[in-house]
Structure 1
Amino acid sequence: MSLQWTLIAGFLYAEIVVVLFLVLPIASPKKWNSLFKSRFLQGLKRQAGIYFVVLLAILVLFCLDAIREMRKYSNPQGDRDGHAHLDLEMQESMRLFRAQRNFYISGFALFLSLVIRRLVMLISSQAALLAQSEASMKQAQSASAAAKSYLKQQGDIKENLSNEAHDKEINEMRAEISALKEKLKLAEKDKSAVKTQADNLAKEYDRLAEEHSKLQKKITISSEDKKSE
């Protein structure tokens, strides 16, 4: 194998290893994204587009060269001349095999280059979506906590208002009870005054009745004395 095809084969093996690392669950998309955003890769990213186009162009050229070699050696020279030697046929078969091998190497290297580029883009997008979903989740949790706090505050306000109304009602009832007690005291004082006045009136009535009976007796005695004379 010549030097250039050895390099392409080595590049293909490296691509296979990279694809395995990207496909297997070795690291999370966040870690891959942080690796992609490292200083070294960010420095290469500025010219990555040019490097990628140049690499694709080289691989396409080698793939076309391999196709040309396959077409060249697909019809052996012995079939055209009819007098080919066995060694010449074996050499042409070997060259055809090498051309086919080089075609597969360059074709798979080209294909895996596109696959790696696509995987890197998908992993970066997935990491961005995960970060966005986490941010949305945190925002939703903070909004939910704020809503719960607001509802709790509203509940405390309503409870305080109900407690204030209850206290106000109790104070009004206490004031009414105090007023009724004052009225009851006044009624008891009036009752005692009326009772005292009634007792005095009864005593005065008894005294007047006694004086009336005395006067009645005097009048009776005086009338009897006049009759006797």
Structure 2
Amino acid sequence: MTLQWTAVAFFLYAEIAVNLILCIPFISAKRWRSVFGLKIWNWLSPYWNKCFFTMIMVLIVLFFDAVREVQKYSGPENMQDAKVNPNVYDHVHMKLFRAQRNLYISGFSLFLWLIMRRVVTLLNQVAVTLEGSAGLQAQMDSAVKATRQHQEDNLMLKQALLDEERSMSVKNQRLKLEAEKLAEQVKVAEETVRKSNAEVEAMKRQAKGLAQEYDRLLREHHQLQNPQSAADKKDQ
């Protein structure tokens, strides 16, 4: 195996190991996000896209080179030469096996490289979603708590209103009873005033009668005095 294909093979093994580590179930997405948020990744982030696309181009070139080698050693000319000479047959099949091996190595390396990037992206998205859902859950809990508090306040307000209505009803009943008592007292006072007015009228009539009787007696007194004075004048 040449140096380039040895490097690609080690790169494939490293990709398999990294993907297996990323797929470990007991490491949460939040933990991976904290790992991806280290300063070293922030330092490497400007070069990450360039490195990613460079590796894609290298792997694509190696993949097409392996495809060319497979087509080269699986052609009918090589098969005809291999049938004529047994040594050539073994050599051709060895070259075809190596070409197919290199094809699988480069193909799986390219595939796992894309998969690894996608897994990292999904882990970050899952972590962000979990953080957002945690924030939404906290908001929902606070909203539920506020709703419960409002419900309790409404119940207390309703209870206070009921108590106020009961107290107002009792006060209204008391005022109604007091109003009835006052109405009775007013009625009694009116009856008393009516009687007093009647007595006053009677006293007025009586006083008027007394005044008339007094005038009559006064006139009679004058009449009695006048004849006596007239008799005295005659005697003189």
Query: What is the TM-score of this pair, normalised by structure 2?
Result: 0.67
Distance change (3 Å), C-alpha of 1:101 and 1:173: same
Q: CA deviation at 1:112?
A: 0.7
Mapped contact 2:81–2:89 kept (Cα < 8 A): no
Aligned residue number for residue 73 of structure 2: 73
Residue matched to 1:102: 102
Q: How does 1:1-229 map to 2 (within 5 A)?
A: 1-75=1-75, 77=78, 79-80=80-81, 84=85, 86-171=86-171, 176=177
Q: Within 2, Cα distance between the matches of 1:13 and 1:82?
A: 37
Q: Answer yes or no: is the 8 Å Cα contact 2:82–2:88 preserved in 1.
A: no
CA gap of 1:14–1:26, structure 2 versus 1, over 3 A, is: farther
Unaligned runs of 5+ in 1: 188-229
The DSSP-based 3-state class of the residue aligned with 2:26 is coil
Mapped to 1, the partners of 2:151 and 2:82 lie a distance apart of 97
What letter matches 1:136 in structure 2? L
Aligned to 1:207: none
Q: More deviation in 113-122 or 15-24?
A: 15-24
Please, which moves more after superposition, 74-83 or 116-125? 74-83
RMSD, aligned α-carbons: 2.8
Displacement of 1:88 = 3.0
Count of equivalent residues: 183
Shift of 1:103: 0.7
2:92 & 2:41 partners in 1: Cα distance?
45
SS at match of 1:151: helix
**Aligned CA distance change for structure 1 residues 155 and 20 (closer, same or farther; 3 Å):** same
| 8 Å CA contact retained: 2:12, 2:109 | yes
Structure 2 CA distance for partners of 1:41 and 1:144, relative to 1, 3 Å = same
1:158 and 1:40 map into 2 onto residues whose CA distance is 61
The verdict on how the C-alpha distance between 1:167 and 1:11 changes in structure 2, with shifts beyond 3 A counting, is same
Distance (Å, rounded) in 2 between the aligned partners of 1:160 and 1:71: 91
Give the 3-state SS of the residue equivalent to 1:46 in structure 2: helix
* Deviations 1:38-62 (CA, angstroms, capped at 9, x unpaired): 2222222222111111000111111
C-alpha separation in 2, matches of 1:109 and 1:65? 14
Task: Give 1:4 shift.
Answer: 1.3
Percent identity reads 35
Task: Give the C-alpha shift of residue 129 in structure 1.
Answer: 1.7
**Tell me, which stretches of 5 or more residues in structure 2 are unaligned?**
189-236
Q: Deviations along 1:90-132, whole A, 9 cap, x unmatched?
A: 2222111111111100000001111111111222222222222
Amino acid at match of 1:167: S
CA gap 1:82/1:139 in 2 versus in 1, 3 angstroms: closer
What secondary structure does 2:156 align onto? helix
Counterpart in the other structure of 2:200: none
Q: Which digits, 9 at most, give the CA deviation of each residue in 1:134-161, with x for residues without a partner?
A: 2112111111111111121122122223
Distance 1:83 1:159 in 2: 107
Q: For 1:159-208, what per-residue CA distance to the aligned partner results, in whole angstroms no more than 9, with x for missing partners?
A: 2232233334445656758x96xx9xxx9xxxxxxxxxxxxxxxxxxxxx
Amino acid in the other structure paired with 1:149: Q
Q: What is residue 199 of structure 1 aligned with on the other side? A: none
Distance 2:97 2:169 in 1: 105
